[in-house]
C-alpha cells in the first residue's frame, strides 16, 4: 500500500508557489539594482545571476513538493534518463525554428545584417555566456509553468485544460515586458501551448527546456534582434528589422510577428510526426 502524500493539495500548491515565485523576488530585485546599467537592454552581468537564482528556487520548490507528494521527478516530466538526448534535440529544433523568421524576412527585404559585431574570443565568450543565461531562464520558466504545476493541474482537470490555463498564465506573466505587443503576447501563449505539446509527445520537459533556451539564444545573440522588446548587450550580429509590425514583430522583435506564429505551428506538426504517440503523463503516475 502506497504512503499518502504529506499535507493537502492546496497546502502543497502554496508551498510550491511561495518557494518558486515569492522567495526569489528580493534577491532578483537586489541583483538588478546592484548591477543596474542601461535600461531597455539585457546584460549578462545582470541576467546570469538573476536567472540562475530563480532557476535554483524553482528547482528547489519542485524537489520539495515531489517529496511531499512522495513522487519521483519523472512524474513531472523531469526524468534524468531522458535529459541529455531530449535537451540536445530541443536545442537543434529551437535554433532551426527561430531561424525561419529572420531568414524569411531577409527574403522579403525586411531583415538585414548590418555588421558582425563580435569576433574571436569575444564572440565565443558571449555565445557561451548567453547560452548559460537562457538555459537558466528556460529551466526556471519550464519548471515553474510546465513541471509540477502542469502535473498537478492535469491530475485535477485533464492535460489540455491544464495546459490552456497555464499557457494563458504564461502569457499574462509577459504583459509587462518592455515593447511587448498584442501579437507578441499571442505568440507567447502559442509557444507555451507548443511546449506543453512537446511534453505530451516526448514524455519529458527537457525537449522544451532545450528548445526554449535555443529560441531565445538564437533571437538575442545569434541574429541580434529584440527578445520581448529587449536587445542583448554582446550579440554576434548587428541587424535591422524593418516593415509592418504584424509581419516583423515591431518592438517585440521577430517573435512577435505572424511568421513566428507560423513557424511554431509548422514545428508542432513536424514534432507530431517525429513523436507520434502520447507519452505524458507517464505510465508510472
Q: How confident is the model at residue 8 (pLDDT cuts 50, 70, 90)?
A: confident
pLDDT, tens digit, for every residue of 103-137? Answer: 999 999 999 999 999 999 999 999 999 999 999 99
Please tell me the predicted confidence (pLDDT) of residue 183.
87
For range 171-195, the mean pLDDT = 88
Q: What pLDDT is attached to residue 82?
A: 82
Residue written as cell 509548422? Answer: 266
- C-alpha span between 186 and 82 (Å, rounded): 30
Using alpha carbons only, how large is the chain's radius of gyration in Å? 19
Name residues whose C-beta falls within 8 Å of residue 253's C-beta, 6 or more positions apart in sequence: 179, 184, 219, 225, 226, 227, 228, 229, 241
Domain ranges across the chain: 81-274
Percent of the chain with pLDDT over 90: 75
Q: Is the pLDDT of residue 176 over 70?
A: yes
| Rounded distance between C-alpha atoms, residue 203 and residue 89, angstroms | 14
Q: Cβ neighbours of residue 136 under 8 Å, at least 6 residues apart?
A: 48, 51, 52, 54, 55
Do the Cβ atoms of 170 and 192 come closer than 8 Å? yes
Average pLDDT of the chain, as a whole number: 92
Report which DSSP code applies to 18: I
> Which residue intervals of 203-257 are DSSP H helices?
206-217, 245-248
Residues 255 and 187 sit within 8 Å (Cβ to Cβ) = yes
CA atoms 14, 213, 119, 230: torsion sign = negative
In the DSSP assignment, the letter for residue 87 is H
- Per-residue pLDDT band for 34 (boundaries 50, 70, 90) equals confident
The answer, yes or no, to whether the previous bond of 24 is cis (omega within 30 of 0) is no
- Could you tell me the pTM of the whole model? 0.94
Q: Which residue has the cell 546584460?
A: 43
CB neighbours (10 Å) of residue 110? 19
* pLDDT above 50: residue 102: yes
Confidence check: pLDDT of 36 > 70 = no
* pLDDT for position 39: 61
* Residue 146 φ then ψ, to 5°: -130, 20
In the block, cell 510577428 appears at: 257
When comparing pLDDT for 262 and 80, which is higher? 262
C-alpha cell at 71: 513522487
Q: What's phi and psi for 275, nearest 5 deg?
A: -125, 85
Q: Which residues are CB-contacts of 218 (< 8 A; sequence separation ≥ 6)?
A: 94, 95, 98, 99
Q: First vs last Cα of the chain: how many Å apart? A: 15
The candidate with the shortest Cα–Cα distance to 199, out of 152, 135, 147, is: 147
Amino acid at each position: 500500500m502506497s504512503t499518502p502524500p504529506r499535507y493537502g493539495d492546496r497546502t502543497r500548491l502554496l508551498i510550491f508557489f511561495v518557494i518558486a515565485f515569492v522567495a526569489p523576488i528580493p534577491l532578483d530585485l537586489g541583483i538588478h539594482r546592484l548591477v543596474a546599467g542601461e535600461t531597455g537592454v539585457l546584460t549578462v552581468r545582470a541576467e546570469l545571476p538573476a536567472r540562475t537564482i530563480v532557476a535554483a528556487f524553482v528547482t528547489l520548490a519542485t524537489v520539495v513538493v515531489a517529496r511531499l507528494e512522495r513522487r519521483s521527478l519523472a512524474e513531472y516530466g523531469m526524468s534524468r534518463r531522458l535529459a541529455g538526448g531530449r535537451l540536445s534535440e530541443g536545442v537543434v529544433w529551437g535554433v532551426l525554428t527561430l531561424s525561419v523568421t529572420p531568414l524569411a524576412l531577409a527574403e522579403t527585404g525586411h531583415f538585414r545584417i548590418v555588421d558582425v559585431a563580435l569576433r574571436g574570443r569575444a564572440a565565443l565568450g558571449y555565445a557561451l555566456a548567453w547560452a548559460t543565461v537562457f538555459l537558466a531562464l528556460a529551466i526556471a520558466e519550464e519548471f515553474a509553468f510546465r513541471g509540477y504545476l502542469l502535473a498537478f493541474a492535469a491530475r485535477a482537470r485533464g492535460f489540455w485544460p491544464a495546459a490552456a490555463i497555464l499557457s494563458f498564465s504564461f502569457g499574462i506573466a509577459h504583459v509587462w515586458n518592455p515593447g511587448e505587443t498584442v501579437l507578441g503576447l499571442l505568440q507567447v501563449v502559442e509557444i507555451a501551448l507548443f511546449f506543453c505539446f512537446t511534453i505530451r509527445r516526448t514524455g519529458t520537459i527537457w525537449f522544451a527546456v532545450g528548445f526554449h533556451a535555443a529560441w531565445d539564444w538564437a533571437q538575442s545573440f545569434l541574429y541580434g534582434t529584440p527578445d520581448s522588446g529587449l536587445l542583448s548587450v554582446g550579440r554576434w550580429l548587428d541587424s535591422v528589422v524593418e516593415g509592418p509590425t504584424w509581419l516583423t514583430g515591431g518592438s517585440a522583435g521577430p517573435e512577435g510577428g505572424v511568421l513566428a506564429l507560423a513557424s511554431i505551428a509548422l514545428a508542432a506538426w513536424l514534432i507530431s510526426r517525429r513523436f507520434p504517440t502520447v507519452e505524458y503523463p507517464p505510465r508510472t503516475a
